[in-house]
Every structure is written in structure tokens, then in C-alpha cells.
Amino acid sequence: MNTPNPTSSSAAAQPLPRIAVLATGGTIAGAAPDVANTAGYQAGVIGVAQLLAAVPGLDAIARIQAEQVASIDSKDMALALWTTLAQRINTLLAGDDIDGVVITHGTDTLEETAWLLHLAVKSSKPVVMTAAMRPASALSADGPLNLLNAVTLAASGAAAGQGVLVAFNNRIHCARDVIKISTYAVDAFQSPEIGALGWVQDGRVEFQRRALRAHTVDSPFTANGPWPHVEIVTSYAGVSRIAVDALVAAGALGIVVAGTGNGSIHSTLQQALVEAAAKGVAVVRASRVGSGHVMHNGAAKDDALGFISAGTLNPYKARVLLALALARGITDRIELQRVFDTY
């Protein structure tokens, strides 16, 4: 699906869309002591007005309403801030005076926030997240072009009804599929199993496909809290059961295991998880591999052991979905498996 260049003369006759830009911090708002420094910077120190001022031509694409929701390094993302962000987006999009939302965010937990919002935003209006790998102070900072592309995408009719999208390095990703795949490269995001949905470049938005799973208005989940205690453990050579036993003792309601390969689990860890599941803890098998899916093993394994399989969700995204489902009161294992098979 192609959309006309929003700066073309035919589009210019229409009033420009009103886009709320919600800033939360991150490297896109980071500053370093000198322009060649792309690692020793402080994230989240530049305000949203300055971010927008660095993007010439934005006012020809949209009427911008800017808000500073937070100023954090996204490694410190908190569940309470997820609630604040989701509620603010829902409030803005429920009104008639905002046509779409752009969120600037750190890259480190962007994939988690994007997936959370994909399920918890209750609007079909465009919601686009973006970020940067280089601080705003750097030579060749990538933030301004990413922000321009994010606003271009949010202002285009093509983004409506597609859930939360991530505009990064000219690509458009679905929030469900996108993950960070590099610690330093400017092309740091991919949707490894499924691929990107399309591109945004030079004012042009092009989708090649749509995500099919239910989201936003077709999802029953909210981010209103309270958030159930759900944690992640990893399977690896020589792993002990200490972490699982401690989580159960601490009252965790859910545990996602980042298994090896197709979600396989070291026998020591598996025994601890079987015992946890028998006590009513929801145990989800995901994979630490980074792409592919974790297949439901059926009667012989998952059903007998009391586990749920995460499909193509990585452990961090599986944790988000498990927390949302538990918060909604879904605790039955078969029902939880249906949730993972649906969203």
C-alpha cells in the first residue's frame, strides 16, 4: 500500500494531522561531552522541544503537540511508567483533537514498551515509536531522521489500524515482532522471524504487508495495573534451581524461562519449574535464541509438565503478555496457552 507524499500539493490542501509527540528519554535525547562520543553519554537529558527543533520541516507534515512524559534511560523503565504512558496515550487518542501519537524512547527496552502498548492502547489511530542509537550531540546522530520518519508515518493514513509501529532506520516494524539486535549499530532493530512491515523514506510511506494477530482495540488487555509479579529465568549449562525456588518463595505468579534452542530446559531447572507450576505459578517456555518459535509440545511435554509455550515471543515480550493476562485474572494454563496462541 502506497501513500502520497504528505508534503505534496494535493495533501497540502487538507489541514495537517495533529500528532502528539510524547518524549520519554533515551539516547535519542542523550548528550555526550564531545561530538565523536557515541557511547559515553547520558541518556534522556535533552527535552522534547530541543528534539523537535532538530528536525527541520516537521511543521509541514503535522501540527505537533509535544509532551515530556519522562526523561529516563529506558533500562530503568518501570511498570508504573508503562501505566502512565498507556493511560496518557489512551486519553489523547480518545479525544477529537489528536490524530496520532509518536513516542520517543530508549532503544534498550523499546521492544517491551512497544509490545505492551500494542496490547494496551485502545484506539485505531496511529501510534509510532522511535529511538536512536547515537546521542543527539553526536556527529551523524540518527535521532532527527528517525523522528521525522516517525511523524511522517503517524501522519499518514496508512498507519491507522496497524497497532503500535516502530519507525527505525527507515523501516517500519510491528511492535509484536521487533527486537533490538545490535549493541551499537545504527541499524539496531529487526523483526527477525517475520521481517519488517514496510519502509518510510523521503516523506513516503510504503507497507508491504500487515500484522494479522489481534491488538489494540481487539485486545482485552490494559496496562492499568496492579502488575502481577512475573520474572524471567534463563537455562544454561550448569544452571541451578536457586533462582526459581527464590521466586516461588517470594510469591511470583509467573515465570518465563528463556530456554535453549526450541525452549528446552536444563533438567535441574525444569524440575524446579515443574514444582513451581504444580504450586500454581504460570510457567512459560520461551527461547534465548533470538529468532524462531517455541512450539507447544503437547501431551508428552508441556501439558504433562504444566507449561505454556511462548510461540514467536521472545522471553521479554512473553513476560509482558503473561503479566497482562494474569492481571486480567487469567490463570488457567489452557486459557493462558490460548492467550499466547492468539496475541
Q: Strands (DSSP E) along 161-315, which ranges?
A: 164-168, 171-174, 179-180, 189-190, 198-201, 204-207, 230-234, 254-259, 282-287, 307-309
Min. distance of Cβ 133 from ligand SIN in angstroms?
A: 5
From 73-81, 122-130, 201-209, 274-282, give the range in contact with ligand SIN by CB under 6 A.
73-81
Q: Pattern of binders to ligand SIN over 3-32, x per CB under 6 A?
A: ----------------------xxx-----
Gap between the Cα atoms of 166 and 157, Å rounded: 16
Count CB neighbours of 30 within 10 A. 25
Q: Based on C-alpha coordinates, what's the Rg of the chain?
A: 21
Q: Which of 43, 116, 120, 175 is the binder for ligand SIN (CB under 6 A)? A: 43
Residues 74, 156, 169, 309: which binds ligand SIN (CB under 6 A)? 74
Q: Which is nearer to ligand SIN, 71 or 264 (by Cβ)?
A: 71
Q: Are strands 198-201 and 254-259 parallel, antiparallel or unpaired?
A: unpaired
Q: Of all helices (H) and strands (E), which one includes residue 128? A: strand 127-130
Only one of the segments 91-99, 100-108, 322-330, 333-341 lies at the binding site for ligand SIN (rule: CB under 6 A); that segment is 100-108
Minimum CB–partner distance for residue 26 and ligand SIN (Å): 4
| 27 tagged catalytic | yes
Give the count of beta carbons closer than 10 Å to the beta carbon of residue 128: 29
Residue of 3, 38, 104, 107 marked active site:
107
Interface mask (CB under 6 A) for ligand SIN, residues 108-127, using x and -?
x-------------------
Asked if residue 228 binds ligand SIN (CB under 6 A), the reply is no
- In degrees and rounded to multiples of 5, residue 143 shows phi and psi of -60, -50
SS3 153: helix
**Nearer of residues 28 and 165 to ligand SIN, judged by Cβ:** 28
Angle value at C-alpha 289, between 336 and 286, nearest 5 degrees = 10
Type of residue at 234: T
Which CB, 26 or 126, lies closer to ligand SIN?
26
In the window 130-189, what residues touch ligand SIN (CB under 6 A)?
131, 133
> In the bound complex, which residue of the shown chain has the CB atom lying closest to ligand SIN?
106
8 Å CB contact between 6 and 109? no
Backbone angles phi, psi at 255, to 5 degrees: -135, 125
Residue 83 annotated among the catalytic residues of the structure: no
Query: To the nearest whole angstrom, how small is the minimum distance from the Cβ of residue 76 to ligand SIN?
Result: 8
Closest CA to 152 of 257, 64, 86, 74: 64
- Does 106 participate in binding ligand SIN (rule CB under 6 A)? yes
Can you tell me which of 83, 104, 107, 146 binds ligand SIN, judged by CB under 6 A? 107
Residues known to be catalytic: 27, 107
Sites of contact with ligand SIN (CB under 6 A)? 25-27, 43, 73-75, 106-108, 131, 133
